[in-house]
Chains A and B, each alone.
Chain A
């Protein structure tokens, strides 16, 4: 009798996820949940679940879903694929019906330290099967270098920009942290750096969203600085690359801050992103700084589309992929420019690297394989 899983889909997901679970002996009931009110969703879920279910699977962790599963004595299989995940501060994390996975080692460490429970480290998988059918040659989406992503330069995406007033001292302090971080591979934006004076200043002038769980204030400040740091890095990269190379920026963000930046045309993400990755000679990845060590999905998607990946340094990327063999990594803003220049001049090498990256991703980071890993771990829990 196959174990029955309710697969909660909150954004668009592909058939690959369903078939991956099915290949591993699970029976999948897909469920599209529109969730504006998490409490309502919890009630909805309680209504749906019964003892015939083995578990509920979803990307991300939502405390109300964990509650519903706990009440109905069904496993809550949550795979966290984004950082920060403030919901991990909810003590629903300790429910024994939870089966938690995260792509980010720092979250795993946090949960262990905070609750002494095991969350399993699980790198992401990319939908190689889906992309195979999408990639094709297309000149209008080609360029020497491209970057796809948000610049975090609007107040709704970057809380730091929405703050009306902060004392100069604090603004200077944050600039200093960001300047120092830009020289380093490892994350140095740690709680120790957020002194009492900084924390008090924020408490006085900044209103983080009132939350139901007891998030460490310091963590919110850190995430804010990490986001702002990413904004600076991405905007600077766009400005520099636009002046030196044939660079296209695919973004919904406002680019009026620099007339030199060329915006790539509006994209149908589902169908055209793979084409951009395939047709750019170099695909740039600049990871959101709150993803401290993990490989972001973007990097895997690029390689799955046979794209050449030039990424900022991430511990896990360096661990699983050979720099210069399966992808390329840069270690400073200057290094990024030098490597763009170098790899544009070495087409054969570039092609060898993207092919090797594709093979690695196909064999080790496909969604099918990763879901298989998750199913294994569930069975052995």
Chain B
């Protein structure tokens, strides 16, 4: 097939292009500004249409979803394959998602179910992936390894956490300074309660009109007039669940720093954009290049901690695939969708409270053979079952099935 790849500064560009090529598809790249015109623009639309015509494009592909691309594809009756890896992703609620040329893939099953239950059949469930082959190539490249070992990112402790702590300036939650005490109490209670629950997220369910009114007065987050997202969705996912994740990550990492003993005065390597963030017994390496450096971090650490962003209600985050694809040992919070791709206890280990996490850290730090076996198994599963090629095949099959159905209907 001839694929028009709508290319913006996304993670995974090289990996997906490699996957298309490995499957003998022809890839034409069309640069796209992911921060520019996303809904409507004559020049962009005409350029894309022209390229589709010139190269006899069979399908258009982008990471994430752009209404402007969806409308173009609908106009020229060409499948638009959209693989969403950001979460939350508000453009999923654009009214354009029902356009029949859309093949949209989300990695969170509960989110997929939401669309499915509303009879939207252009949205499908597809877990993310890792290019484990490339990652293994990186790991076994000894000269690159030694560059890593001399770099500022080299692990100094047995435990690593890679991810944002959402403590940067202008966080949405902190901007709501003037919400009433009552509202503040309510929000803190529901976040505290949600902390104890894995497997389902109730934040949207408990947003009342009064709470929404108070928050809306204090933070100008409004649904897009072109979209069907609710203000409950925006505030729950972009504000509350995000703040909850900030609280949880800090709490859990502090808990590790305070309670893991016997491995020197530092016990945790932290890789996070906010390089000024300090907790005891922790080395903060600042941001790490996810593509070229993080794989070494995952591979070198004895234990990689994953604490999923709470707006990802059930899905497996990209981080988890990357860790296992790099041969790293993954210790993750429980997420319901893991069961679709991996076996807990064999490929990775899950925890359901911070005490459980601590117990498992202590156990696996002192059971090296088991730990290595699990990391190896997780890598093997990722190599065999969760490659970009497999995902590409799945996504393109969806287009083929639809076009065959359309042809059948017409004959």
Contacts and interface: CB of A to CB of B under 8 A. Distances in A.
Interface of A: 167-177, 179-181, 183-184, 188, 190, 192-193, 195
Given A179-B206, A184-B202, A168 B189 contact: no
A168 B193 contact: no
Contact of B202 (A170, A183, A192): A183
B188 A173 contact: yes
B365 interface: no
Given A180-B206, A183-B202, A193 B193 contact: yes
Contact of A176 (B180, B181, B193, B205): B193
B183 interface: yes
The 6 closest A-B pairs by CB, nearest first: A172-B185, A176-B189, A172-B182, A173-B185, A168-B181, A176-B186
B182 A183 contact: no
B208 interface: yes
B189 to A, nearest CB: 3
Which of A176, A183, A190, A192: most chain B Cβ within 10 A? A176
B201 to A, nearest CB: 10
A169 B196 contact: no
A153 B182 CA distance: 22
Nearest to A201: B185
A188 B196 contact: yes
Contact of B193 (A167, A171, A188): A188
A172 B183 contact: yes
Contact of A169 (B185, B197, B206, B208): B185
B184 A184 contact: no
27 contacts: A168-B181, A169-B182, A169-B184, A170-B185, A171-B182, A171-B185, A172-B184, A172-B186, A172-B187, A173-B185, A175-B186, A176-B185, A176-B186, A176-B189, A176-B193, A177-B193, A179-B206, A179-B208, A180-B189, A180-B190, A180-B193, A180-B194, A180-B202, A181-B193, A184-B202, A188-B197, A193-B196
Contacts of A175: 182, 185-186, 189
Contacts of A180: 189-190, 193-194, 202, 206
Given A180-B190, A188-B193, A192-B192, 11 more contacts: A167-B181, A168-B182, A171-B182, A172-B181, A174-B189, A175-B186, A180-B206, A183-B205, A183-B206, A192-B196, A193-B192
Given A179-B208, A184-B202, A190 B196 contact: yes
B196 A176 contact: no
Contacts of A183: 202, 205-206
Nearest to A188: B193
A307 B170 CA distance: 59
Contact of B206 (A171, A176, A190, A193): A176
Contacts of B184: 169, 172
A334 B186 CA distance: 22
- Chain B interface residue number, banded: 20 to 34
Nearest to B189: A176
Contact of B187 (A171, A174, A176, A181): A176
A331 to B, nearest CB: 12
Contacts of B208: 179
A180 B190 CA distance: 6
Nearest to A194: B192
Which of B181, B189, B196, B197: most chain A Cβ within 10 A? B189
Nearest to B190: A176
Contacts of A169: 181-182, 184-185
Nearest to A176: B189
B180 A168 contact: yes
Contacts of A193: 189, 192-193, 196
Contacts of A179: 186, 190, 206, 208
Contacts of B197: 184, 188
Contacts of A167: 181
A179 B194 CA distance: 12
A280 to B, nearest CB: 31
B236 to A, nearest CB: 13
Nearest to B196: A188
B298 to A, nearest CB: 31
A177 B191 CA distance: 9
A108 B202 CA distance: 30
Contacts of A173: 185-186, 188-189
Contacts of B182: 168-169, 171-172, 175
A175 B214 CA distance: 15
A301 B61 CA distance: 63
Contacts of B190: 176-177, 179-180
Contacts of B202: 180, 183-184
A168 B188 CA distance: 13
